[in-house]
Amino acid sequence: MSTIKVDTITTRTGSGNITVSNTIAGNLTGNVTGNVTGNLTGNSTVGGTLGVTGLITASGGLSVGSGGDTNTMDDYEEGTFEPTFTSAAGDFTNVGYSGDTGGRYIKVGNLVYAQGCARINGTLNKSNRSSGETLVLGNLPFTQSSRSNGDNADSIPVVRCPVWSSGDVPERGIMRNGEAGFSLVKMANNATSHTITVSDLPSDAMMQFTVMYTTN
């Protein structure tokens, strides 16, 4: 066996490619200081620690643990949304919101975390809705996807209403399968309705909320 020592390997004249058809058995102990602009199309296994200081893009997802669909994280996203007060039967005739209305979300895999604030600026015309309709905080960024086959896994948003000048005050929310918002409820005994209705919504309503739920 012979050894060839060189300072530089450059492109051969003619084909333009440098082909390695056999295993490179030794260790690469130095650094690759240039760019790798081609694609690595085969599979690779890194037995040690892989340190990357730049961005890793994994459009096919990231498999953690034993593998398979349930071990694959295939999405991450963060952004903003604008929560709105609405009713079970639809939007109000007119409602205006103050500048501190807004929300942020983070989606990791199928898990959504959203927090925000909805605050009416004094403009509220709800004459097109029945007073007894359920009041809803709507326009959340994703649709809830809890199982519907008997496990009753509603998401329970936490709410706080620092300004709510009249009517019953929401104490928490209920977000069910298929909804991109949540119904508002109050504390009450079993014989009394827990529902916050359209009639409870004042024109100065301010509600902060946090909700975590699953989506598809």
Partner 1 sequence: MAITKRTEQDKIEVVGPFKMIQVRTATVIEEDGVEISRSFHRHTVAPNISSDALDNESADVRAIATQFHTDAVKTAYAAHLNEGE
Smaller CB separation from partner 1, 137 or 207: 137
What are the backbone dihedrals phi and psi of residue 10, each rounded to the nearest 5 degrees, phi first?
A: -120, 175
Interface pattern 135-164 for partner 1 (x via CB under 8 A)? -x-xxxxxxxx--x----------------
Radius of gyration over alpha carbons of the chain, in Å?
Answer: 28
Smaller CB separation from partner 1, 63 or 180: 180
- Give how many residues touch partner 1 by CB under 8 A: 39
Smaller CB separation from partner 1, 63 or 146: 146
Taking alpha carbons only, the member of 119, 111, 178, 180 closest to residue 145 is 178
Choose one: 14-22, 35-43, 133-141, 199-207; the region binding partner 1 (CB under 8 A): 133-141
Choose one: 6-14, 66-74, 171-179, 198-206; the region binding partner 1 (CB under 8 A): 171-179
The pair of structure tokens assigned to 51 is 């340190």
Q: Does 37 bind partner 1 (CB under 8 A)?
A: no
Q: Does 75 bind partner 1 (CB under 8 A)?
A: no
Longest dimension (CA), the chain: 92
Smaller CB separation from partner 1, 165 or 193: 193
Taking alpha carbons only, the member of 184, 127, 188 closest to residue 161 is 184
Smaller CB separation from partner 1, 89 or 163: 89
Give CA angle at 43 (37, 45), nearest 5°: 100
**Using DSSP, how many helices (H) and how many strands (E) does the chain show?**
0, 12
Q: Does 101 bind partner 1 (CB under 8 A)?
A: no
Q: Which residues pair with 172 in a beta bridge?
A: 158, 185
CA dist 55 and 208 (Å) reads: 35
List Cβ neighbours of 210 (8 Å cut-off, separation of 6 or more).
113, 114, 115, 157, 158
Among 63, 72, 73, 81, binds partner 1 (CB under 8 A): 81
State in angstroms the smallest separation of the CB of 133 from partner 1.
7
Give the interface with partner 1 as residue ranges (CB under 8 A).
77-82, 86-91, 105, 133-134, 136, 138-145, 148, 174, 176-181, 183, 185, 193-195, 215-216
